[in-house]
Amino acid sequence: MAMQTIFPVTRIHEPLRADVEVQNGQIVDAWLGAHLFRGFENMLTGRDPRDAALFTQRICGICSGAHAVVASMAQQQAFGVVPTPTGQQLTNLIFAADIIQNHLRHFYILVLYDYVKGPDMPPYIPRPQADFRLPPKVNAELLQHAKEAVLQSMRAHEAMAVFGAKAPMQQTIMPTGVTEQASVERLMAYSSILQELTEWVENFFINDVMVIADYYKDYYSIGTGYGNFMSFGMFPAPVTGERAFKPGLIVNQGRLEQLDVNHIAEEIRYSWYKDEQERRTVPEGRTIPNRDKPDAYSWIKAPRYQALPVEGGPLARGFINGDYRRGVSVMDRLVARAKETLKICRLAQGWLNEIVPDTPSCQQFTPPEAGAGVGLTDAMRGSLGHWMEYRHNKVTHYQVVTPTTWSFSPRDNQGIRGPVEQALIGTPVADGTNLIEAGRVIRSFDPCFTCAVHMLEH
């Protein structure tokens, strides 16, 4: 038996620590801890509730649009307003562009160098010296595509800025739509970039993922986890609100079930927080830090749906929507993400075709003096929720539960591992000193810890 620690695990969002127990060349137990503690919800307390979409975007630069979208949904419920049809389509276009850039950057910047050997210079070194399987020519091609992918992800941000004014952290999404107008010129500009992105995703991104999958076939059986999937859905249609990606729940790769947000609760037995109740629903949530708490090992709480740990993200959406159901593994997550990127490109083209130029993209509104709202959407990595309450036009309570909180949660009150902890169990380890196999499992979930940990003064 040997205990090994990887810290930091991720290449950009560094606060993740993984402690794993290795026996006979396999991981037999795992503990994942987030070591970042921040206070974004506190920033909103006492502010005008209309500020939420702009402030919460600053939680994270790579998925900022998701927070604007879900905050505007919470505002819609609290204010009793709806977006104009054109405003909803423009919101979807902004969000689509942000997801595309995220998926490209995840694979080509955060994941690729687990499988592709970079040049012998920083930041590609130091690196593990084992298990790079690609022939030199194929390796060189993927390195070239990685450089091109950086430019393509930049183009996706340019598309986001066409209607969002800037990227990241767009400036135009509001409860009744988008402040930028759907002019012919802007629609054409977005369409031109989208066509370029669609062709690149189809011709390079999907092919590159399949090349990796071909040389690392064993990763179709590594990183399986529970097979519990949840999605809030995303991209609501104008007027009807029907989502292009539908919400749902799948337990143990079984049948699709309806989702009820009232079954969501957070548990804190192994998290660095104190509370006389170790389990609360999100609207009841308290976040009082206790860094010296015995047995705790993470700033992330343990969200559960009907006491179940659940996985979100492209693979979950693939199972729930019937787009991808090959299996549950490291490689399935990568393939599902690439295929989802192409689907979103094609959906965005459809929304563009439906927009009538120069129709109202938003409308004026006056919020009531008090209200409460919940916004739910899927984001890049999975299910994202914002809970807001305000009185006398000032926010009194704001709570965020992010996708990484779901996937990278610690053990819950019953000692049941979080989804990524469980996915690590059974992972073969060839060299106990570098644990690249564990890193591949963890990074297949697209961890983002700037989003995952927050503080709430209650």
Give the H/E segment covering residue 352: helix 330-354
Work out the end-to-end distance of the chain between its first and last CA atoms, rounded to an integer number of angstroms.
Answer: 43
Q: CA 458 to CA 456: how far, in whole Å?
A: 6
Q: Is the Cβ–Cβ distance between 316 and 337 less than 8 Å?
A: no
Summarize the confidence of residues 283-301 as an average pLDDT.
89
pLDDT at 454: 41
Span 345-360, pLDDT tens digits:
999 999 999 999 999 9
How confident is the model at residue 6, as a pLDDT? 85
* Residues in the chain, overall count: 458
Residues 6 or more apart whose CB falls under 8 angstroms from that of 240 comprise none
Q: What is the pLDDT of residue 12?
A: 59
* H-run or E-run covering 450: helix 449-452
Question: Which has the minimum average pLDDT: 28-32, 134-138, 444-448?
Answer: 444-448
Strand extents, DSSP E, 295-451:
302-305, 371-378, 383-391, 394-401
Distance CA(138)–CA(120), nearest Å, equals 17
When pLDDT is averaged across residues 303-319 and rounded to a whole number, the result is: 97
Backbone conformation region of residue 165, classed left if phi is above 0, alpha if psi is from -120 to 50, else beta: left
445 has a pLDDT exceeding 50 = yes
Q: Which domains does the chain have, with CATH numbers?
A: 2-452 (1.10.645.10)
DSSP H helices, 31-115, are 40-44, 52-56, 64-79, 85-105
**Cβ proximity of 187 and 352 under 8 Å:** yes
User: Could you give the angle at which helices 136-164 and 85-105 cross, rounded to 10 degrees?
Assistant: 150
Count the alpha carbons within 13 Å of 309 in the hemisphere toward its beta carbon: 24
Instruction: Give the pLDDT confidence score for residue 384 in this predicted structure.
Output: 96
| Span 369-381, pLDDT tens digits | 999 999 999 999 9
Is 42 within 8 Å of 71 (Cβ atoms)?
no
Q: What is the pLDDT of residues 64-118, one digit of tens each?
A: 889 999 999 999 999 999 999 999 999 999 999 999 999 999 999 999 999 999 9
Of the candidates 390, 421, 456, which has an alpha carbon nearest to the alpha carbon of residue 79? 390
Predicted local confidence at residue 65, as pLDDT:
87
Lowest-pLDDT range, 62-66, 345-349, 407-411, 452-456? 452-456
Task: Judge whether 312 and 259 are in contact, CB under 8 Å.
Answer: no
**Token reading at 452:** 């995952």
Q: Which two tokens stand for residue 297?
A: 């090992």
Question: Which pLDDT score is estimated for 452?
Answer: 46
Residue 17 CA from chain centroid, whole number: 19
Q: Name the least confident of 97-106, 278-287, 361-370.
A: 278-287
Buried b (16+ CB within 10 A) or exposed e, 337-354: bbbbbbbbbebbbebbee
CA 177 – CA 93 distance, rounded (Å): 12
Give the confidence band of 284 by pLDDT, cuts at 50, 70, 90: confident
Residue type for 340, please? E
Residues with Cβ within 8 Å of 377's Cβ and at least 6 positions away in sequence, in order, are 66, 69, 70, 73, 232, 233, 234, 384
Given a cut of 70, is residue 449 above it in pLDDT? no
Is the Cα torsion angle 53, 15, 448, 270 positive or negative in sign? negative
Query: In the predicted model, what is the mean pLDDT of the chain?
Result: 93
pLDDT, tens digit, for every residue of 412-439? 999 999 999 999 999 999 987 789 999 9
Q: Quick one: what percent of the chain has pLDDT higher than 90?
A: 80
Amino acid 457: pLDDT? 38
Q: Which residue has the higher pLDDT, 288 or 14?
A: 288
**Low-confidence winner among 9-13, 24-28, 227-231, 390-394 (lowest mean pLDDT):** 9-13
pLDDT band at 1 (very low <50, low <70, confident <90, very high): low
207-250 pLDDT, tens digit each? 999 999 999 999 999 999 999 999 999 999 999 999 999 999 99
Mean pLDDT of 53-60: 83
The neighbour count for residue 154, using CB atoms within 10 Å, is 13
Instruction: Assess whether pLDDT exceeds 70 at residue 14.
Output: no
Res. 13 pLDDT band, cuts 50 70 90: low
What is the CA 242 to chain-centroid distance, rounded? Answer: 21
10 confidence band (pLDDT: 50, 70, 90):
low
Using DSSP's 3-state secondary structure scheme, residue 323 falls into coil
- What's the gap between Cα 264 and its chain centre? 18
The mean per-residue pLDDT over the stretch 129-153 comes to 95
Q: Tokens in use for 175?
A: 């409860």
Over residues 165-179, the pLDDT tens digits come to 999 889 999 999 999
